[in-house]
Structure formats: C-alpha cells, structure tokens
Amino acid sequence: MAHGSRYKVAFKRRNEGKTDYGARIKLIELDKARMVVRVTNNHVIAQIIKVAPEGDDTIISAHSNELKNMGWLGSTKNISAAYLTGFLCGKKAAAEGVNEAVLDIGLKSPTKGTRVFAALKGAVDSGLHIPHGGSVLPDDSRLRGEHIAQYAESLNEEELKQKFGAYLKKGLSPKDLPDHFEKIRQKL
C-alpha cells in the first residue's frame, strides 16, 4: 500500500473491482432510465433502473428463471435465454410506460455477440428504445439456438446423452431448440 500525505484511498467498490465510477457518473448525467444487464454463472438478469437522490430505484426486473414458469426447458444461462430475458424485460417496461433506456453492462467487456447484447436485442425487439450499434448484436440464428441444434445433429446417440443430458431429462431434444425458442417467444 502506498504511503504519504498525498495518497488518496480509492472507493471501496473501486478497489474491489465492482464499480467503474467514471462510467457510472456518465450514465447518471444522461438522466434516463438504465437497462442493467448482468450475467451470472447460471442466470441472466435484466433490470430497468432509475437514479434517485437517495439511491437507485429498480422499476422493472426480469430474471431468466422466470422463463421456466412460461415453459422454457432450455438452459437459463445461454444466449437464447438472455434474448428471452431481455424480451421479457422490454415487455414489462412497455406495460409500466417506460419506452426508452440506456444500456449499462457494468464492468463487462463490450464483446460482439455476447449474452449482454443478446438481452439488448431482446429488449429492442420488444419495443424498448435503446441506442446501440447494430454490429454488436448476435445473429438471429444464434439467438434461436440453431448452432446448438446443428452441433447436436453431428453427435451420435451416446455423445448426445453425455453432452445434452440435462436437456433430454427435461424432455427437450437440442435439435428442437429453435422451434421451442419461437414457441416461448410467442408466449411472452
């Protein structure tokens, strides 16, 4: 640790690597609602948050676990689930009268085609206006899970059971994932 009379201790959350205060201040100065997307090891969370003097206020929240209640049999952490979670968040925002927001990805690197941008595409497709560049959004075929279905078709029965056992236990063949995705999207 540095010593001296001129040393200034950084904020605790900055030291822990949890908050980029420069980016946060820029988002707050916009005076718009933020669509906050967080990806955990098992889930995707999308929230619409407004800044208030006493602290941030979460207006709308969508969690990929909510997709299970609507019949989703796939993983709650893949790119398809991220899109559906963003789509659900956008639909909830429209019901609450929120029609525009700014994307907040936190400390995630803005890598093209990631789950964060899949959630963004879902929110935009549901009618929420969020400024973005189209080049960062994932392809529609990846959102529907066609890459998973193609990979599953290349496997023999034993490999399919080994790699997609969780899907098969739920009664979903990975080859049927694109159709299942569209069915759930229509329900939302």
Read off the CATH number of the domain in which 92 is found: 3.30.420.100
- By residue range, what is the domain housing residue 44? 12-140
Mean pLDDT of the chain: 91
Across 4-31, average pLDDT:
79
Cβ neighbours around 36 below 10 Å, total: 22
Q: Is residue 175 part of a domain?
A: no
Across 25-40, average pLDDT:
87
Q: Is residue 184 part of a domain?
A: no
Q: What are the φ and ψ backbone dihedral angles of 86, each rounded to 5 degrees?
A: -65, -40
Alpha-carbon gap, residue 161 to 152, rounded angstroms: 10
Give residue 55's pLDDT.
80
Give residue 1's pLDDT.
59
Give residue 178's pLDDT.
95
pLDDT value at 2 more than 70: no
pLDDT value at 26 more than 90: no
Q: Is residue 117 part of a domain?
A: yes
Q: Is residue 58 part of a domain?
A: yes
Q: Is residue 28 part of a domain?
A: yes
Closest alpha carbon to 90 in 123, 47, 137: 123
Higher per-residue pLDDT: 19 or 57: 57
Total tally of structural domains belonging to the chain: 1
Instruction: Using CB atoms within 10 Å of the CB of residue 146, give its burial: 0 to 12 exposed, 13 to 18 middle, 19+ buried.
Output: middle
Q: What percent of the chain has pLDDT over 90?
A: 76
Instruction: Using CB atoms within 10 Å of the CB of residue 52, give its burial: 0 to 12 exposed, 13 to 18 middle, 19+ buried.
Output: exposed
This prediction's pTM = 0.87
Q: Is residue 159 part of a domain?
A: no
Q: Is residue 172 part of a domain?
A: no
Across 83-101, average pLDDT:
96
Q: Is residue 80 part of a domain?
A: yes
